[in-house]
């Protein structure tokens, strides 16, 4: 087991930086999240370019240098106790070559986000730091449960995470313990073959995604297969697969746990024996409960699945 550093727990009055490392965001989309942070007794500190917009084939939250400036400030400012991404989208890959962890390494802090933020979380874990794969500050179009946010605050306060899930037809029984890696499948796929990719050996992998055609999902799973990922991992957790496929192909287009996507994944990994959980409530879904990337997790899959950090 690699030695992973966990940031210290937060206390009332601590400052949480809110930054936009990828897509542009409107202030109205963050109002509820910012007020919630205040209501929990923490002080939100807004990044200089939180609401900046820069159109360059995609609506980014500023140029690469503007977003990088906010990221390096938030990670390294000694007055900041946690960094919470406003949203995902696309753009985090631009930042990782020039991320600075000089002060961060002396004073690690929780980084919170999902979706495109998987890139940042993979980078942090390569450097030995755990992070929270959980809901961003933006309250998304499909809504966010109160418990999804409450559980993030529980992690920030140092409380352990424990989940019990109902069985799923595609889940595979077994017991395993290991370090959790992963996040958004498209970004795991995008980092394969780079020095920023997760180390998969003996790890428990988590994947989720949104808005991919079924052939694109299959291509990503095949890339993991061809890269030997499924020969290396000791367990697999599959979260939300939302708005997958083409509307004409998929009548249940708004499903959070798309059954055809699940069947496609199950078929591809059928020859492997590692314990597998389908239907974990994390991803681009309303009930987006946090996981700790880099955390040691016990996975027990029987008639029900238990996941404990």
Tokens, residue 171: 């889940």
Q: In what order do the strands lie in the sheet with 291-293?
A: 43-46, 15-19, 80-85, 110-113, 131-133, 291-293
Planar angle of CA 6, 7, 11, nearest 5 degrees: 135
pLDDT in tens, 206-215: 999 999 999 9
pLDDT in tens, 269-292: 999 999 999 999 999 999 999 999
- Average pLDDT for 61-81: 98
Residues 90, 59: Cα–Cα separation, whole Å: 9
Walk me through the domains of the chain, giving residue ranges and CATH numbers: 15-156 (3.40.50.10740), 162-308 (3.50.30.60)
Tokens, residue 204: 């428990």
pLDDT in tens, 189-212: 999 999 999 999 999 999 999 999
pLDDT at 249 over 80: no
Closest CA to 285 of 181, 210, 180, 184: 210
Residues 85, 117: Cα–Cα separation, whole Å: 8
Strand-pair category, 15-19 with 43-46: parallel
pLDDT at 261 over 50: yes
What rounded mean pLDDT belongs to the chain? 95
pLDDT attached to residue 252? 46
Q: How confident is the model at residue 254 (pLDDT cuts 50, 70, 90)?
A: low
pLDDT at 76 over 50: yes
Report how far Cα 72 is from the mean position of its chain's Cα atoms.
20
Tokens, residue 69: 């400036």
In order of 18, 43, 88, 102, 171, the CA distances from 15 in angstroms are 10, 5, 21, 19, 41
List the beta strands (DSSP E) in 24-165: 43-46, 54-55, 59-60, 80-85, 110-113, 131-133, 162-165
Q: Report the percentage of the chain scoring pLDDT > 90.
A: 93
The structure's pTM equals 0.96
């Amino acid at each position: 087991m690699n030695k992973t550093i966990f940031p210290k727990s937060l206390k009332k009055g601590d400052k949480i930086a809110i930054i936009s490392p990828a897509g542009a965001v409107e202030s109205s989309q963050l109002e509820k999240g910012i007020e919630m942070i205040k209501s929990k007794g923490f002080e939100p500190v807004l990044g200089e370019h939180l609401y900046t917009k820069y159109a360059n084939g995609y609506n980014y939250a500023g140029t690469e240098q503007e977003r990088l400036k906010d990221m390096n400030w938030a990670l390294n400012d000694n007055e900041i106790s946690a960094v919470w991404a406003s949203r995902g989208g696309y753009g985090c890959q631009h930042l990782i070559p020039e991320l600075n962890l000089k002060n961060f390494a002396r004073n690690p802090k929780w980084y919170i986000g999902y979706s495109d933020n998987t890139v940042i979380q993979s980078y942090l874990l390569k450097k030995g730091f755990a992070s929270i794969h959980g809901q961003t500050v933006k309250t998304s179009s499909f809504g966010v449960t109160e418990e999804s946010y409450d559980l993030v605050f529980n992690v920030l306060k140092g409380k352990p995470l424990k989940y019990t899930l109902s069985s799923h037809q595609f889940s595979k029984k077994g017991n395993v313990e290991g370090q959790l890696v992963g996040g958004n499948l498209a970004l795991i796929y995008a980092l394969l073959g780079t020095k920023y990719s997760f180390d998969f050996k003996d790890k428990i992998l988590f994947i989720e995604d949104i808005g991919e055609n079924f052939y694109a999902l299959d291509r990503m799973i095949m890339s993991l297969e061809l890269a030997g990922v499924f020969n290396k991992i000791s367990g697999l957790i599959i979260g939300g697969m939302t708005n997958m496929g083409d509307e004409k192909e998929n009548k249940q287009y708004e499903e959070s746990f798309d059954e055809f996507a699940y069947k496609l994944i199950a078929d591809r990994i059928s020859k492997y024996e590692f314990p597998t959980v389908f239907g974990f409530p994390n991803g681009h879904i309303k009930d987006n409960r946090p996981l700790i990337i880099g955390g040691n997790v016990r996975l027990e899959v029987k008639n029900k699945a238990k996941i404990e950090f």
